[in-house]
Amino acid sequence: MPRFAANLGFLFPELAFTERFGAAADAGFGAVEFAQPYAWDAREIAELLEANGLEMVNFNLPMGNAAAGDFGIACLPGREAEFREGVRRAIAYAEVLGNERVNCISGKAPAGADPAELRATLLANLRFAAKEFAVAGRTLLLEPINTVDAPGFVVPRPADAAALLAETGARNAGLQYDIYHAAMMGEDPLEGLARFTPVIRHVQFADAPGRHEPGTGTVDIAGCFARLDALGYEGWTAAEYRPSKPTPDTLGWMA
């Protein structure tokens, strides 16, 4: 079976965030991830990880101002300086928390924006981040996100992300393959996992539609786990679903 991590932004919502670390450890997870650590002191999070015997495996680069509608800024012309400062901030947090991987959320296309300009901005920012991460001994991830949940997202399919990653020329940049997002774009995750194996560096999952635990939708999650094993995938596979009931009652898939 794959090595499973708990996404603490999604699992155990019935608990305060700082209590989710212990709950994840008690449930049998050896590692955790979540989107944004920046609201907490990195040392506080590190202490929670150590106290519960957990490894931090992934978080996102700063994603902009959510209250203003931002969902990632890497594709947005005019915000390059903010993106670069976010790269440096993420590296500083990763050095304390110990995770080798950090994910980039590309962003949404503003109304009337030139797709070519957005892509060129994103590519330049990815090259910058990969270079800085290489110096810091880190791997940059790029995650496609479906346009049903995030209309206008500029990197909606794994093939889009794989093409960008190839153009960066960076050996320390790879694909964050989310089974849920691929399924929501009408793709077959079983085929996608095999197709993109050479560039996959991290995997996330939820059933689709609904984004709940395995068994609540139409995706063959167990088959995806078996496919990852058959492909020799050795990275982490993170549960990033919205529990349809108390989280401990949704973990039957771990068996």
Using alpha carbons, list the distances in angstroms from residue 46 to 18, 56, 74, 158, 237.
11, 9, 27, 32, 21
Q: Is 47 left (phi over 0), alpha (psi -120 to 50) or beta?
A: alpha
Query: Of 143, 191, 213, 234, which is the active-site residue?
Result: 143
In angstroms, the CA 94 to CA 29 distance is: 20
Q: From CA 55, how far away is CA 51, in angstroms rounded?
A: 11
Whole-angstrom distance, CA of residue 50 vs CA of residue 155:
35
Strand runs (DSSP E) across the chain, as ranges? Answer: 3-7, 31-33, 55-60, 101-104, 139-142, 173-178, 200-205, 236-239
Q: Alpha helix locations (H) across 138-243? A: 158-168, 179-184, 189-195, 221-231
Residue 132 is among the residues annotated as catalytic for this protein:
no
Please tell me which residue in 33, 187, 213, 240 is annotated as part of the active site.
240
Residue 143 among the catalytic residues: yes
Encoded amino acid at 183, one letter: A
Alpha-carbon span 23 to 64, nearest angstrom: 29
Helix (H/G/I), strand (E/B), else coil: 38: coil
Tokens (6 digits) for 84: 């670069």
Active site residues: 143, 240
